[in-house]
Amino acid sequence: MRSLSLFIVLFTFWLLLSGIYNVFLISAGSLIAALTVWFAKRMEVIDHEGHPIGHAFSVIFLYWPWLLKEICVSALKVSKLILSPSLPISPKMDNVNLSQKTDLGRTIFANSITLTPGTIAVEINKETILVHALENQSLEDLKKGDMDKRVTHLE
């Protein structure tokens, strides 16, 4: 099932990037996608973390829009901070608890933190993630755990 799903994703991506739909390119795209799936299967990298098909709906329709909103809100906050004449930043580093059980979940959480302006994931271990924030409020918002809960739900 994962192999078929991976083939469909790769072939669709090929078609979208190609933009030209003639017999040769469609054949070449399907052949390349099939060879890629074959190599991935031989390397044993088609698993629940390498190609998480079960999470596609929740990631695309629930998590990405929420993360995009958070990025925009944080970008406005950071812009307001740096454009203020008094520059009221209060940089701080602290550990934030994480509840993800898999490496994929921890990576998504760390990347989400780093994508959000004003915060950077510095170091990850099994229970916590060290975060640098431009202001204390951003760090407190992360400690409330909304992003952590949403990423854990993706697992």
Task: Report DSSP letters for 100-134, one per residue.
Answer: --SHHHHHHHHHHHHHSTTEEEEEE-SSEEEEEES
The residue-averaged pLDDT of 141-155 equals 89
User: Looking at the DSSP assignment, which residues form a beta bridge with residue 130?
Assistant: 95, 123
Is the predicted pLDDT of residue 20 greater than 90, yes or no? no
The model carries a pTM of 0.69
Q: How far apart are CA 139 and CA 141, in angstroms?
A: 5
The residue-averaged pLDDT of 7-14 equals 91
CB 86 within 8 A of CB 109: no
Is the predicted pLDDT of residue 154 greater than 90, yes or no? no
Run of H or E residues at 69: helix 64-83
Top-confidence residue, 154 or 132: 132
Run of H or E residues at 120: strand 119-124
Lowest mean pLDDT among 4-8, 33-37, 44-48, 99-103: 44-48
Q: Which pLDDT score, from 0 to 100, does residue 114 have?
A: 96
Q: Which two tokens stand for residue 99?
A: 């509840």
Rounded to the nearest angstrom, the gap between the alpha carbon of residue 112 and the centroid of all alpha carbons in its chain is 6
Read off the pLDDT of residues 66-110 as tens digits, 9 standing for 90 and up. 999 999 999 999 999 989 888 888 899 999 999 999 888 899 999
* Sequence spans of domains, the chain: 2-42, 55-154
Q: Which pLDDT score, from 0 to 100, does residue 70 have?
A: 94
Is the predicted pLDDT of residue 52 greater than 60, yes or no? no
Q: Confidence band (pLDDT; 50, 70, 90) for 9?
A: confident
**DSSP SS3 for 129:** strand
